[in-house]
Structure 1
Amino acid sequence: MGQLCEQCARMLKDFVAFVRRVSAGLVRAVRRCAAALCQGGCCARAAAGTGKRYRPVLQQHDKRAAQQFLQHLDSGTDTPQLDDECLKALRTLAVSENPDLQQSAAIYYLHISQQLKTPLPIDFLEPYNALLQSSDLEVQKIASLSLVNLLVEENVDKEVVVQTGLLEPILDMLESGDHTVQCNSCACVATLATSDSNREAITSAGGVLPVLVLAKSYDPRVQQNGVGAILNLTRCEKTMSVLCTEGVIPLLALLLQSPDSEVQYYSCSALSNIATRPEHHPAMLQLGNRYLLRALLSLMSSPVEKNSCQSCRCLRNLSVNVSIQEELVSLGFVAQLREMLQSPSQPVAESAITLLSALSEHSPNREAIVEEGLLKTLGQLVHHQRTNPTILGHCAATICNLSDSQSAQAVAESQCLNGLLQALISPDIMEEELLCVTACLNHLTSFELLKSHVIGKLNAEHAERLVGWAGQTENDELSFNSASIISQLEEQGEVCQVLTPHTTSILEYLLRFLRHSEGRFQQLGSVTLLNLNKDAGFSAALAESPLMEQQDSRDLLHTTMHTAHD
């Protein structure tokens, strides 16, 4: 549906569903109305008796238009007819002073909106201007609903709707006293606001304040569409700033406590968009007693999965601010994250680990995370979810951030190493996650306690993968990480057995490292050669390798080995 999010689309489609159930009678209703009107000379009087009300005289051109429209509809099919004759009749009926004729045009547009399978010709948007500004409430209701349908089904171009002048009457209807008209017009605004140019047009035309008012409506349909419109308006930095100036942040914070889960979701999503701009963080935090943070933490425990996930995303955007991280930790937020990490729902676990990864980047948070037992939880997560790239990548980054000499024992007692080593040989692991896993293992093996655990679990398949990645030339970081892991393990006798079959490949990438333009590669190559040279088998292979056959390579080797010794 273009830029319209799935939730907004579902909301709008649910709203018009009831009309779809009665669509078969729409054309018949138009026919009856048009036939009744064209039979008489005027509609000056209604039925006899009390309750008489004035109706404008049916002008001759109105009568001709009604007759032509009736003939046009009598084609024997309910498929919308969209030719020039139909457009001419609709134009006449739409501007008629007679509400019944306007209703005929509006009903036919509703029929079009439910049956049309192709884009609506642009000229057919013209009659909408009169219908949306009709003094008859029923005409406004029907016409606005048909326009919602056309927008949601993308049978009209959103930018063209604004360009043809329909935005002004749509915004006027936001201030209607009728909930149905408010609901339909707000749904139009929400859908139009999925376009960047339309967002600015809505803001320039003064559409922000009426939308904010409707977001406070007691009618749940109106409120949902109002908050949905706010959500789409926050997708643009310029309109987001206007909304914030007009006081949208306190409103959205209050709506996080709404009994309507859809309103909660739209409000949290809009706040998440606003939180991507650090300049708005002070306004988001100035609500008394850290109201917004507490409301988001409460929403994290929501039984509605998407609301729980969205609250994590909003907090993730806020957590670029270090002071906010510290506030969250002080509010006992880490324990809530642990519960989410243990959720059987992958989206919930993904949202939680993404947020935890961000928190672990700030060193003052790490002690609280480790003390809360999160390393054990991470070990279980990476062990059971190693095929999920989002979870695996963030788990590896978090474990790396949390690992130091004080937490090495906690890492060893968790399943972190097992999970990472299993992920290392997973056939489904992607390059980005592989970089995270190898970087994490490289960091962990720098601790003697953890190095011995890795050595005890390293097998031939692990060795083959690491040597292969060290030798590839497409990704320097992956090559460096893999070779660095090997260099830290090679001096152990147990490892030499699994590396021996790959001696030739190791020598090849080491020669490349020694000739590399970056000093870190040269240094790593030197250290690796020194470690491997302690093994008699490798030393013999090195003496006979191409690396030693060329004088310039031999000189380079001696120089780098001498440098490493120094």
Structure 2
Amino acid sequence: MGQLCGRCLQLLRDFAAMVQRTSAALLHGIKECLALISHCSCLKPSGSKGRQLYKPILQPHERVTAQEFLQHIEAGFEMSPLGKEPLEALRTLAFSENPGLQQSAALYYLHMSQHMNVPLPVEHLEPFYALLRSTDLEVQQMSSLSLVNFLLEGNIDKELVVQMGLLEPILELLESGDPTVQCNSCACTMTLAISESNREAIGAAQGVTPLLALANSYDPRVQQNAVGAILNLTQSEKIQQVLCKEGALPILTFLLESPDSEVQYYSCTALSNVAAHAQHHAAMLRTGDRFLLRALVSLLSSSVDKVSSQACVCLRNLATSADTQVEIVAHNVLPKLLSLLASGSRDVRHAAVALLWILSQHPRNQDVLTCAELLQSLRMLLAVHRMDPVIAGHTACIIQNLSLSKNRQRIIESPCVEGLLQTMLSTDIQEDSLHYVTSCLAELAKQEGAAGHMVPCMDEPLTRCLVRLAGQRDRVEPAFHAASIIQRLMGHEKTMRLLRCHIAETQAYLRNFLSHPEVRFQQLGIATLCGLQGDPEFSSAFRKSQMTKLLEQVRQQTEETQELLRAAICHTDG
């Protein structure tokens, strides 16, 4: 190579001078930028409840040079952080092999994730792919944290994150050796798994295995987010199969004894979701020599409402077989349920009464459950919460189940009967609940001696309620049950005295019953009319309203039916 000429030497001297001048100005710019960053609120612990698990990873003094980043930042960048030029700069930094440049991009994304209140443009997701796959630990920490923040604040569409190919690097970070990266990647996975399509994608990408491993993490943040992600995955029946195959059941079962109430809740809810499908019950109950039932019954005593409530739900989902129902009761579950029925939490009361309803269905449990304490608790429930359709309906079903036992007389003599009668007066009671309440009362009224305990509870409002309900054609079953109760109680003078105030309405529903196409309505109408004819006032009213003529029509129809039946039988025999 020859010597440079004078002209080239001068050009080199000019270039060196220019570089020296530019470097001085650039260094001054770098110092100013880092000073501003160090004082920004994004590097201070956030007071937001939703981010308590995701404390800022890096401190200001750990910031390294942002020299190359500043070369890509022009005057308008701070004014328009989502513009085209800053995006190009971020893309260049993110895909660089220089860790310092990647840290600058990751830091800026972290800053944006804590201050943005608008959706992040889809173009800004592309640099995340390189940042999440960086070999630099700080870049992994910052980029995963910023992605968590964006997802939690709803700045990014969850399905779009998967469509852009970010799921793979997120799942790879689950196997990081750094707890902070694990915590953030679990949180990303947990949030993404809210979407049904994303759950399928996580399962297909083999994301279940590393999550199960992290569910046993000694770091409470990592464990909590890992179990939360597993919980969201159990909302997919298909992924439930994968979880069970990968050994999720024993892990989730033993996490019920975790000292962390959030982990208890997540694992219990995940097990409830799995238990909603009976094909998993055998495997669940085999875990740890049927340890699951004991652990769930123990959680009923939790001081955290959502934990005790979810334990009830899980036990209810598991109690589909008679043997399991009996086993749950054998674990001395009743005292715990009595406490939950008196809870100030609506969700807890609902969960407890629903579980009790399931347990009361088995005959072997009915005698055990029919005790004075439970009957008193049920009466209190109806007294305080009779306008709650869940409480009213389930309580009526429980009472009816218990009345099938040999202790039926205790039910009839208990204050529960009055509670059920008063519940009918609730104007807001839903159709299903009204059906259960009236059905239970109608069955109780059939029992020997029941009328003697029900009649003293009767008054004008209750009588009016029963008569009007019997006359409602659009409420077929409650109408039949109400009329059945009236028919069973009208042998008592008090009932007749109350009914005399409603002669017109009583006649109206009897006419409906006598002309009803169902034989059971006709038979009940005839039986009621016969009983009322012994009363002078009703008898006189029946004569004036030509009720006898209607009865004659029913008789003729019955005779015609009998003749047809005789003809059919003779034809068959021949």
Q: How far did residue 324 of structure 1 move?
A: 0.8
Secondary structure (helix, strand or coil) at the match of 1:256 reads helix
Equivalent position of 2:39 in the other structure: none
2:129 paired with 1:129: yes
Give the CA RMSD over aligned residues. 2.7
2:107 paired with 1:103: no
Question: Using the alignment, how far apart are the partners of 2:318 and 2:199 within structure 1?
Answer: 24
Equivalent position of 2:139 in the other structure: 139
* TM-score w.r.t. length of structure 2: 0.84
Equivalent position of 2:553 in the other structure: 555
Task: Answer whether contact 2:514 2:550 (CA < 8 A) is retained.
Answer: no
Amino acid at match of 1:187: A
Question: Using the alignment, how far apart are the partners of 1:463 and 1:372 within structure 2?
Answer: 28
1:46-195 map, 5 Å:
66-75=70-79, 81-195=81-195
* TM-score w.r.t. length of structure 1: 0.85
Task: Answer whether contact 2:299 2:308 (CA < 8 A) is retained.
Answer: yes
Cα deviation 1:480-499 (Å, max 9, x = unaligned): 22222122222322112222
Task: Answer whether contact 1:489 1:495 (CA < 8 A) is retained.
Answer: yes
Question: Using the alignment, how far apart are the partners of 1:327 and 1:438 within structure 2?
Answer: 31
Judging changes above 3 Å, is the alpha-carbon distance between structure 1 residues 504 and 315 closer, same or farther for their aligned structure 2 residues? same
Amino acid at match of 2:554: L
Amino acid at match of 2:553: D
Task: Answer whether contact 1:408 1:450 (CA < 8 A) is retained.
Answer: no
Amino acid at match of 2:543: A
Question: Using the alignment, how far apart are the partners of 1:196 and 1:407 within structure 2?
Answer: 49
Cα deviation 1:246-295 (Å, max 9, x = unaligned): 11111111111111111111111111111111111111111243211111
Runs of 5+ unmatched residues, structure 2: 1-47, 562-574
Task: Answer whether contact 1:387 1:428 (CA < 8 A) is retained.
Answer: yes
Question: Using the alignment, how far apart are the partners of 2:300 and 2:484 within structure 1?
Answer: 40
Secondary structure (helix, strand or coil) at the match of 1:15 reads coil
Amino acid at match of 1:262: E
Question: Using the alignment, how far apart are the partners of 1:456 and 1:191 within structure 2?
Answer: 59
Question: Using the alignment, how far apart are the partners of 2:71 and 2:534 within structure 1?
Answer: 102
Amino acid at match of 2:457: K
Question: Using the alignment, how far apart are the partners of 2:193 and 2:422 within structure 1?
Answer: 46
Q: Which protein has greater RCO, CA pairs closer than 8 Å, 6+ apart? A: 1
Task: Answer whether contact 1:366 1:402 (CA < 8 A) is retained.
Answer: yes
Task: Answer whether contact 1:383 1:415 (CA < 8 A) is retained.
Answer: no
- Could you say which structure has the larger radius of gyration? 2
Secondary structure (helix, strand or coil) at the match of 2:446 reads coil
Equivalent position of 1:55 in the other structure: none
Task: Answer whether contact 1:523 1:560 (CA < 8 A) is retained.
Answer: no
Equivalent position of 2:466 in the other structure: 466
Judging changes above 3 Å, is the alpha-carbon distance between structure 1 residues 292 and 533 closer, same or farther for their aligned structure 2 residues? same
Equivalent position of 2:233 in the other structure: 233
Task: Answer whether contact 2:438 2:478 (CA < 8 A) is retained.
Answer: yes
Choose 323-332 or 124-133, whichever is displaced more: 323-332
Q: How far did residue 99 of structure 1 move?
A: 1.9
Cα deviation 1:508-530 (Å, max 9, x = unaligned): 22222222222222222222222
Secondary structure (helix, strand or coil) at the match of 1:252 reads helix
Cα deviation 1:321-365 (Å, max 9, x = unaligned): 211112112222233323333444443332221111111112221
1:29-40 map, 5 Å:
33-34=65-66, 37-38=67-68
2:305 paired with 1:308: no
Question: Using the alignment, how far apart are the partners of 1:147 and 1:179 within structure 2?
Answer: 16
Secondary structure (helix, strand or coil) at the match of 1:289 reads coil
Task: Answer whether contact 1:107 1:142 (CA < 8 A) is retained.
Answer: yes
Q: How far did residue 380 of structure 1 move?
A: 2.8
Task: Answer whether contact 2:77 2:85 (CA < 8 A) is retained.
Answer: no
Equivalent position of 1:15 in the other structure: 53
Q: How far did residue 315 of structure 1 move?
A: 0.4
Choose 94-103 or 131-140, whichever is displaced more: 94-103
Q: How far did residue 319 of structure 1 move?
A: 0.5
Equivalent position of 1:214 in the other structure: 214
Q: How far did residue 145 of structure 1 move?
A: 0.8
Cα deviation 1:398-417 (Å, max 9, x = unaligned): 01111147424322443212
1:537-552 map, 5 Å:
537-545=537-545, 547=547
Amino acid at match of 1:438: T
Equivalent position of 2:325 in the other structure: 325
Choose 389-398 or 403-412, whichever is displaced more: 403-412
Equivalent position of 2:501 in the other structure: 501
Amino acid at match of 1:14: Q
Task: Answer whether contact 1:114 1:149 (CA < 8 A) is retained.
Answer: yes
Question: Using the alignment, how far apart are the partners of 1:253 and 1:429 within structure 2?
Answer: 39
Question: Using the alignment, how far apart are the partners of 2:533 and 2:550 within structure 1?
Answer: 19
Equivalent position of 2:451 in the other structure: 451
Equivalent position of 2:485 in the other structure: 485
Question: Using the alignment, how far apart are the partners of 1:108 and 1:29 within structure 2?
Answer: 15
Equivalent position of 1:335 in the other structure: 335
Equivalent position of 2:41 in the other structure: none
Secondary structure (helix, strand or coil) at the match of 2:155 reads coil
Secondary structure (helix, strand or coil) at the match of 1:527 reads helix
Judging changes above 3 Å, is the alpha-carbon distance between structure 1 residues 115 and 557 closer, same or farther for their aligned structure 2 residues? farther
Task: Answer whether contact 1:530 1:561 (CA < 8 A) is retained.
Answer: no
Choose 365-374 or 278-287, whichever is displaced more: 365-374
Equivalent position of 1:261 in the other structure: 261
Equivalent position of 2:392 in the other structure: 392
